[in-house]
Amino acid sequence: SRDDVMFETSGGTDNRKHATSTYDKIISRATPEGREQINERKTYYDNGTVLLKTEKKLVPADGSKPKVETSERVIPVSEDSN
Protein backbone atom coordinates (compact mmCIF):
# COMPACT_ATOMS: atom_id res chain seq x y z
CA SER A 1 0.00 0.00 0.00
CA ARG A 2 1.01 3.65 -0.38
CA ASP A 3 1.36 4.00 3.40
CA ASP A 4 4.60 2.00 3.31
CA VAL A 5 6.52 4.65 1.35
CA MET A 6 9.61 5.81 3.22
CA PHE A 7 10.62 9.46 3.03
CA GLU A 8 14.23 10.52 2.84
CA THR A 9 15.16 12.74 5.76
CA SER A 10 18.34 14.73 6.02
CA GLY A 11 20.26 15.85 9.06
CA GLY A 12 19.30 15.09 12.63
CA THR A 13 15.57 14.97 12.18
CA ASP A 14 13.39 13.12 14.61
CA ASN A 15 12.21 10.04 12.74
CA ARG A 16 9.52 9.24 15.30
CA LYS A 17 7.20 11.94 14.04
CA HIS A 18 6.13 12.85 10.53
CA ALA A 19 4.69 16.11 9.30
CA THR A 20 1.12 15.64 8.18
CA SER A 21 0.40 19.17 6.95
CA THR A 22 1.56 22.77 7.01
CA TYR A 23 -0.44 25.96 7.30
CA ASP A 24 0.88 29.38 6.29
CA LYS A 25 -0.60 32.71 7.27
CA ILE A 26 0.76 36.15 6.38
CA ILE A 27 -0.53 39.22 8.16
CA SER A 28 0.48 42.63 6.89
CA ARG A 29 -0.55 45.85 8.55
CA ALA A 30 0.43 49.47 8.78
CA THR A 31 1.47 50.68 12.24
CA PRO A 32 2.63 54.11 13.44
CA GLU A 33 6.21 52.75 13.39
CA GLY A 34 5.95 51.45 9.82
CA ARG A 35 4.71 48.40 7.92
CA GLU A 36 4.61 45.19 9.90
CA GLN A 37 4.50 41.77 8.28
CA ILE A 38 3.98 38.60 10.28
CA ASN A 39 4.61 35.25 8.63
CA GLU A 40 3.24 32.34 10.59
CA ARG A 41 3.92 28.74 9.61
CA LYS A 42 2.40 25.82 11.45
CA THR A 43 3.63 22.30 10.82
CA TYR A 44 1.36 19.57 12.12
CA TYR A 45 2.88 16.24 13.16
CA ASP A 46 1.29 12.84 13.53
CA ASN A 47 2.31 12.68 17.19
CA GLY A 48 -0.20 15.41 18.11
CA THR A 49 2.19 18.36 18.20
CA VAL A 50 2.35 21.56 16.18
CA LEU A 51 5.57 23.44 15.39
CA LEU A 52 4.74 27.14 15.32
CA LYS A 53 7.30 29.36 13.56
CA THR A 54 6.69 33.09 13.56
CA GLU A 55 8.69 35.72 11.72
CA LYS A 56 7.84 39.32 12.47
CA LYS A 57 9.30 41.96 10.16
CA LEU A 58 8.93 45.68 10.73
CA VAL A 59 9.89 48.03 7.90
CA PRO A 60 10.26 51.39 9.67
CA ALA A 61 8.44 54.40 8.24
CA ASP A 62 11.67 56.43 8.42
CA GLY A 63 13.38 54.17 5.89
CA SER A 64 15.85 52.63 8.34
CA LYS A 65 16.86 48.96 8.31
CA PRO A 66 14.00 46.47 8.76
CA LYS A 67 13.82 44.67 12.09
CA VAL A 68 13.17 40.93 12.01
CA GLU A 69 12.21 38.79 14.99
CA THR A 70 11.78 35.05 14.73
CA SER A 71 10.41 32.59 17.23
CA GLU A 72 9.75 28.90 17.21
CA ARG A 73 7.80 26.78 19.64
CA VAL A 74 6.12 23.40 19.84
CA ILE A 75 2.59 23.20 21.22
CA PRO A 76 0.14 20.35 21.60
CA VAL A 77 -2.48 20.31 18.86
CA SER A 78 -5.15 20.87 21.54
CA GLU A 79 -3.78 24.39 22.11
CA ASP A 80 -3.72 25.24 18.41
CA SER A 81 -6.15 27.74 16.95
CA ASN A 82 -6.09 28.68 13.26
According to the model, what pLDDT value does residue 12 have? Answer: 47
Please tell me the pTM assigned to this model: 0.67
Residue-wise pLDDT tens digits, 13-54: 555 789 999 999 999 999 999 999 999 999 999 999 999 999
Give the Cβ contact number of residue 66 at 10 Å: 11
Q: What is the pLDDT of residues 47-81, one digit of tens each?
A: 999 999 999 999 999 999 999 999 999 999 999 87
CB 57, CB 68: distance < 8 Å: yes
Are the CB atoms for 71 and 79 separated by under 8 Å? no
